[in-house]
Structure 1
Amino acid sequence: MLLQGKVAIIHGGGGAIGGAVARVFAREGARVYLCGRTRAKLDRVVRDIVAAGGRAEAAEVDALDEHAVEHHVEGVALRAGRVDIALNAIGFAHVQGTPFVDLSLADFAYPVEAYARTNFLTAQAVGRRMVEQGAGVILTLSTPGARISGQGFLGNGVASAAIEAFSRILAGELGASGVRVVCLRPDAIPEALAESHSRDVFAGAAARAGSTIEALLDGRAQQATLLKRLPTLCQVAEVAAFIASDRAAAMTGTVANLSCGSIVD
């Protein structure tokens, strides 16, 4: 098993990506601590993991609340003895599809501020423990918006670029202490549309294009990716497990391109 004996904390563990990663982490032997703001979603993932023979616990934690994040990480560290892996898979519904000339400052700034804040808080809370123990892996989550140009996703793109820069710089700060930091950059994942915030993000863009969300994503898959398809939750989760494992011990300060070729690094 890739993650046998590891302790992992996943913020946004009840969401599509967070839940998929949690299930694979647990299958690979990790003890998984899920947190988020919707208990019912977290409990569903925990039930799946336990039914498959894994170990998981859930807690309601607002990943924008510094004290709540710190309290939860402290509790995990006390009970489990360490924190080996952390993933921030939090998602925020935000405006996309509005041209720059019509975009309000509030709609632009919201994803930038929210994603920067939550990634800082969750990384700092686990980073303190990882530095003390001399090892750990921090995973972040970005989008192709960090690297492409176009209309209607300025807030999303700047937020994604900020997460990627944060991850690279943080890797430099923590590397000497044995802590790795890697950002995952999947393209849009059709299966994740079951999550309300994902639908909200794409709804505005689809409406302005006079299309449906499904047609919008199908067009992106055919026109913008080398593989003529978009990534699946399973594919993203499997890569996350490998990167979090000791087999990827030489990898840090980089972005894992999971875009199916919509971005070519």
Structure 2
Amino acid sequence: MTTTSAHSSSAHLGLLDGKVAFITGAGRGIGAAAAHLFAREGAKVVLAARTESELRRVTQEVRASGGTADYVLCDLADAESVSAAVKHVTALHGRLDIAFNNGATLVPPGPMDTTTEVDFDHIYAVNLKGPWLAMVAEITAIRATSGTGAIVNTSSIGALMANPDLPAYGAMKRGLNSLTASAAATYGPEGIRVNAIAPGTTTTETLGSWEEASPGIIDSLVASTPLRRAASPNEIAEAAAWLLSDRASYVTGTILRVDGGTLA
């Protein structure tokens, strides 16, 4: 093969070419955008969430675009469900290379004293315990199959500052940042990188729900963003894809802000 043809062939390789990717919260929003993007970049994607109709739709869309996609039902608040979902990935493809822990939930916004114990327990189970369960299962799978790999968790810029409107949400995401750093330090010697992204205002269904509960919040958030707009889910997924790729091979333990400059 000539130098020119070799360069041409490599130029067509995707960012995640040949990797097997597991994505939670993949039925909509950032997770769905990641499923499409990761597949376009060459990964075989396995989507996970609780709602089968959403997973089926995104999977069919990815396949229609020429990608390799499958899905598995998964409840992040259920340890057995999380473990079974990750085992499904390795049974399907023989290995796991990368994982994007994006699944999360939101509780009604408001001051801390208005958050119920039920809501606090629920957001803990999904937004903090859930990613912990997922990371444990994913690290076990990566270790047993590919040997090395990468994990990205979805945090929030709300975890990097006071968050009076969403105090429980911010607390769980801040806890996730700590788990991310601890996992990076623990599993780095094995060649497993662990990072997180901290999105700013992003046009997802979750943001829409916040707007319904607190009319005007989107305009307020955009006004405090130097780029003066919200991010698309795809823009957030692009950051996750880079961190999961070999191009970020010396990046681990970081919380990457993707916030339009909000915390600059």
- Tell me the TM-score normalised to structure 2 length: 0.89
Give, in whole Å, the separation in 2 of the partners of 1:20 and 1:7. Answer: 17
Give, as a single letter, the amino acid of the residue that structure 1 aligns with 2:176: I
Give, in whole Å, the separation in 1 of the partners of 2:70 and 2:51. Answer: 14
> 1:203 aligned to 2:212?
yes
> 1:82 aligned to 2:95?
yes
Q: Contact 1:32/1:55 (CA < 8 Å) preserved in 2?
A: yes
Q: Contact 2:75/2:82 (CA < 8 Å) preserved in 1?
A: yes
Tell me by how many angstroms 1:67 deviates.
1.5
Which stretch has the larger CA shift, 110-119 or 24-33? 110-119
Q: 1:121 aligns with which of 133, 145, 151?
A: 133
> 1:62 aligned to 2:63?
no
Which residue of structure 1 aligns with residue 243 of structure 2? 243
> 1:91 aligned to 2:100?
no
Give, as a single letter, the amino acid of the residue that structure 2 aligns with 1:39: E
Which residue of structure 1 aligns with residue 5 of structure 2? none
Give, in whole Å, the separation in 1 of the partners of 2:92 and 2:72. Answer: 14
Tell me by how many angstroms 1:198 deviates.
4.4
Which residue of structure 2 aligns with residue 233 of structure 1? 233
CA distances 1:170-196 after superposition (whole Å, capped 9, x unpaired): 111111110011101111212x13xxx
C-alpha spacing 1:106/1:79, structure 2 compared with 1 (3 Å):
closer
CA distances 1:55-96 after superposition (whole Å, capped 9, x unpaired): 000121222221222122223213312101111111213121
Tell me by how many angstroms 1:229 deviates.
1.8
Which stretch has the larger CA shift, 136-145 or 227-236? 227-236
Q: Contact 1:110/1:155 (CA < 8 Å) preserved in 2?
A: no
C-alpha spacing 1:202/1:165, structure 2 compared with 1 (3 Å):
farther
Q: Contact 2:76/2:126 (CA < 8 Å) preserved in 1?
A: no
Equivalent position SS for 1:189: coil
Show structure 1 runs of 5+ residues with no match.
207-211
Tell me by how many angstroms 1:126 deviates.
0.8
Tell me by how many angstroms 1:104 deviates.
3.4
Q: 1:151 aligns with which of 164, 170, 175?
A: 164
Q: CA RMSD in A?
A: 1.7
Q: Contact 1:94/1:201 (CA < 8 Å) preserved in 2?
A: no
Give, in whole Å, the separation in 2 of the partners of 1:160 and 1:125. Answer: 20
> 1:220 aligned to 2:229?
no
Equivalent position SS for 2:69: strand
Show structure 2 runs of 5+ residues with no match.
1-13
- Percent of matched pairs sharing the same residue: 30
Q: Contact 1:31/1:56 (CA < 8 Å) preserved in 2?
A: yes
Equivalent position SS for 2:181: helix
> 1:163 aligned to 2:163?
no
Which residue of structure 2 aligns with residue 53 of structure 1? 66
Give, in whole Å, the separation in 1 of the partners of 2:131 and 2:210. Answer: 19
Give, as a single letter, the amino acid of the residue that structure 2 aligns with 1:159: M
> 1:172 aligned to 2:185?
yes
Q: Contact 1:6/1:29 (CA < 8 Å) preserved in 2?
A: yes
- Tell me the TM-score normalised to structure 1 length: 0.88
